[in-house]
Amino acid sequence: EVVATAMRRMGELRTNRSLANRARALVSSVFSFARRQGLLAENPVGAVPPYREERNPGRILGDDEIRRLWRAVSPQTPANIAIRLLLFTGARVGDLLRAKWRDIQFDEWEISTDRRTPRLKVALSPQAMELFRQLRELTSRESDYIFPARAVVTKTNKPRRSLARELQAAAKQATLNLTARDLRATVRAKLYQLKIRPDVVEYVLGNRSVALRVSRQMPELQYETEDRAALSRARSCARL
């Protein structure tokens, strides 16, 4: 409990997460030694997950830059809609490209994870749901994936592997220098500017370790309500 409290306090500031993980590793090594000496039955730190660290948190776009990018991805193509969804949700590109139609249930997105981790449910704003509806009309109905690879061979084909080329083309048109990580950083910054609680921000962004930890502290329905409200406020803040 002491380690979990210390990790939470250090992790509330994202710049301290690397320090929190190093402190956790040090304390864990002490308990592991005690266990090897027969002083403990198990290492209690094992129940406290480390923070997921992003090497480069990304650049935060200004409102004018966001509007220029938004105009650059106005043509209704799957790739452009994907970029708009990144702006609406703050999702990781990999999570979005691996998503299947069965993962979208009315107004929430059930993000696939590895077999050891429960699937993560993230609320979708009405604007994001409209983009998914548009995608359904544009993409092949023979694919399980929302963003299928271009060469559709079978019903269970592979997902699209990248948006890098399309994102760079949009950035060039908008006279911007950016990466997909910048879009996620921008959404996170907008949510923090609105003084939304850090745990809700990370839940909105699909941060698995935070979502799993805080799910024990608040009923899921209430979290999803705050999740959806936070995204709507972020969109208003960006004035899209």
**Residue range 26-46: average pLDDT?**
84
Whether the Cβ atoms of residue 160 and residue 145 lie closer than 8 Å to each other: yes
C-alpha torsion sign, points 208, 213, 214, 216:
positive
- Bigger pLDDT: 15 vs 113: 113
pLDDT value at position 221? 42
The percent of residues above 90 in pLDDT, for the chain, comes to 25
Helix, coil or strand: residue 34: helix
- Bigger pLDDT: 111 vs 11: 111
pLDDT value at position 61? 94
pLDDT value at position 121? 76
**Residue range 16-44: average pLDDT?**
81
Least confident among 49-58, 125-134, 191-200, 212-221? 212-221
Is the pLDDT assigned to residue 182 strictly greater than 90?
A: yes
Is the pLDDT assigned to residue 48 strictly greater than 50?
A: yes
Least confident among 69-73, 103-107, 170-174, 221-225? 221-225
What is the rounded end-to-end Cα distance, in angstroms, of the chain? Answer: 43
90: left (phi over 0), alpha (psi -120 to 50) or beta: left
Give the phi and the psi of residue 170 in degrees, each rounded to 5: -65, -40
15: confidence class by pLDDT, cuts 50, 70, 90:
very low
- Bigger pLDDT: 207 vs 213: 207
185's tokens: 């950083």
Residue 97 CA to its chain's centroid (Å): 12
- Bigger pLDDT: 40 vs 150: 40
203: confidence class by pLDDT, cuts 50, 70, 90:
confident
Is the pLDDT assigned to residue 191 strictly greater than 80?
A: yes
- Bigger pLDDT: 6 vs 239: 6
